[in-house]
Amino acid sequence: MTTTRVLVTGAGGFIGHHLVTYLKKLGYWVSGVDLKAPEFSISDADEFEILDLRQWENCLRATREADQVYALAADMGGMGYISIYHAEILRNNTLIDLQTLEASRLNGVQKLFYTSSACVYPEFLQTNPNVTPLKEQDAYPAQPQDAYGWEKLYSEIMCQHYRQQYGIETRVVRFHNIFGPYGTWEGGREKAPAALCRKIAYARLTGAKEIEIWGDGEQTRSFCYIDDCLVGIYKLMLSDYSEPLNLGQDRMVTINQLADIIMKIAGVHLQKKHIEGPQGVRGRNSDNSHLKQVLNWAPEISLEEGLSHTYQWIEKQVAERLSK
Ligand code: NAD
């Protein structure tokens, strides 16, 4: 048991909700804030407050007794969301990040963990499905594809300057496609693994013969299971490393291959119908050499194992929906 008081922002969201549980098991006193309570199970936080962190007073209130802050709150979603709502995302996330950091400083928070994204990497390095894995220094010269990535890059720099000028310790991670159970699986903000699990589960349970895939499905990504993500977050928080660090798997698959793996898990074979839709960059993969050097660790859980847990959970959600 530790007396350290930890705040998790975005604690009603996918990673934040899992992180609260993880930190509680380690013995921390944890408070969580979010615009909403977790959708799929009750939070393990000692305290959970519904607060809109775009409001300055709420940022001050949320951070008032925290020794450490894990800043996960963000207006975000999969390609179907972040490729459309640029102005809202830029406005909301700038307000959340800037004010969370400043309120943390004023309230004497010792350490702040900032969750950036692989979306900071320049579009011109990601035009080929067979992309060279992205190293941390590749972020510059900057040309993120979406406003979402520009804001993350700006907030990374803000963390760096707050650390240098005010002495608040900051840690910055760049996530590469984190997935797992208890994440958004419908409604427009879901990401590719959850969307494919949902489509395949619907097909399996209703007897449909095909699923829709955005684009030709040859765009590539790497996907990291939530349990590995939590270990990586905590290792980075404990480290003395303050520069941005990739956190993801470095096994690259096409979206078609991702669908094939999920179909195998579900025990079905479905036709893929390729339709128009946002695809993001053509290829993206994480170069984990720096991650291994800094944390002496890299994600270990296979894509098949992670997807198996995720598919089982999503199929259950779909079955419940169909039974209503
Ligand atoms: P999520 O959408 O599930 O969680 C984000 C949470 O922030 C949501 O619950 C949302 O309600 C909350 N939020 C939004 N606006 C808020 C506001 N004004 N005040 C308070 N709370 C607010 O997303 P996630 O996948 O859990 O992502 C967590 C963090 O990791 C985010 O910063 C995200 O940008 C970053 N990230 C995630 C991934 C990924 O693959 N999941 C990849 C790169 C970066």
26 and 8 Cβ atoms separated by less than 8 Å: no
Pocket test for ligand 1, best of 9, 15, 226 (most atoms within 8 A of CB): 15
Task: Provide Rg for the chain, Cα atoms.
Answer: 19
How far apart are alpha carbons 82 and 323 in whole angstroms? 32
Arithmetic mean of pLDDT, 220-245:
98
- pLDDT band per the 50, 70, 90 thresholds, residue 79: confident
- pLDDT band per the 50, 70, 90 thresholds, residue 48: very high
- Identify the structural domains of the chain with CATH numbers, from first to last: 5-178+224-247 (3.40.50.720), 181-222+251-281+301-322 (3.90.25.10)
- pLDDT band per the 50, 70, 90 thresholds, residue 87: very high
Using the mean position of ligand 1's atoms as its centre, give its distance from the Cα of residue 210 in Å: 31
Dihedral angle, C-alpha 216, 252, 133, 189, nearest 10 °: 60
Pocket test for ligand 1, best of 76, 81, 236, 281 (most atoms within 8 A of CB): 76
Does pTM surpass 0.85?
yes
Using the mean position of ligand 1's atoms as its centre, give its distance from the Cα of residue 302 in Å: 24
Using the mean position of ligand 1's atoms as its centre, give its distance from the Cα of residue 235 in Å: 20
Which protein residues are within 6 Å of ligand 1, measured from CB? 10, 12-16, 34-36, 52-54, 72-76, 92, 96, 115, 117, 175, 177-178, 184
Pocket test for ligand 1, best of 39, 56, 72 (most atoms within 8 A of CB): 72
Arithmetic mean of pLDDT, 6-26:
98
**Predicted local confidence at residue 5, as pLDDT:** 98
**Predicted local confidence at residue 324, as pLDDT:** 87
22 as an active site residue: the answer is no
- What pLDDT, in 10s, does the model give residues 100-159? 999 999 999 999 999 999 999 999 999 999 999 999 999 999 999 999 999 999 999 999
Arithmetic mean of pLDDT, 218-229:
98
81 and 51 Cβ atoms separated by less than 8 Å: no
Start-to-end C-alpha separation, the chain: 44
Residue type present at position 22: Y
The CA-CA-CA angle for residues 225, 227, 230, to 5°, reads: 110
- Number of alpha carbons in the 13 Å side-chain half-sphere of residue 310: 33
Arithmetic mean of pLDDT, 190-213:
97
How far apart are alpha carbons 192 and 9 in whole angstroms? 24
**Predicted local confidence at residue 37, as pLDDT:** 97
Arithmetic mean of pLDDT, 278-307:
97
Report the mean per-residue pLDDT for the chain: 97
**Predicted local confidence at residue 16, as pLDDT:** 98
How far apart are alpha carbons 219 and 282 in whole angstroms? 5
**Predicted local confidence at residue 1, as pLDDT:** 63
Instruction: Please check the confidence at residue 312 and state whether its pLDDT lies above 80.
Output: yes
Residue with tokens 């119908």: 273
How far apart are alpha carbons 225 and 138 in whole angstroms? 24
| Minimum-distance ligand 1 atom for the alpha carbon of 53 | 19
215: left (phi over 0), alpha (psi -120 to 50) or beta: left
| Residue 13 backbone phi and psi in degrees, to 5 | -95, -175
- pLDDT band per the 50, 70, 90 thresholds, residue 288: very high
Instruction: Please check the confidence at residue 74 and state whether its pLDDT lies above 70.
Output: yes
Q: Is the dihedral of CA 121, 148, 93, 114 positive or negative?
A: negative
Using the mean position of ligand 1's atoms as its centre, give its distance from the Cα of residue 240 in Å: 25
Residue with tokens 């406005």: 91
102 and 83 Cβ atoms separated by less than 8 Å: no
Catalytic residue among 22, 85, 121, 148: 148
- pLDDT band per the 50, 70, 90 thresholds, residue 202: very high
Alpha-helical (H) ranges within the chain are 14-25, 56-62, 79-82, 86-106, 147-166, 192-206, 226-238, 255-266, 289-295, 303-323
Instruction: Please check the confidence at residue 206 and state whether its pLDDT lies above 70.
Output: yes
Using the mean position of ligand 1's atoms as its centre, give its distance from the Cα of residue 115 in Å: 9
Q: In the chain, count of helices (H) and strands (E)?
A: 10, 13
Using the mean position of ligand 1's atoms as its centre, give its distance from the Cα of residue 189 in Å: 11
Q: In this structure, what token pair is assigned to residue 48?
A: 């959970």
Arithmetic mean of pLDDT, 293-318:
98
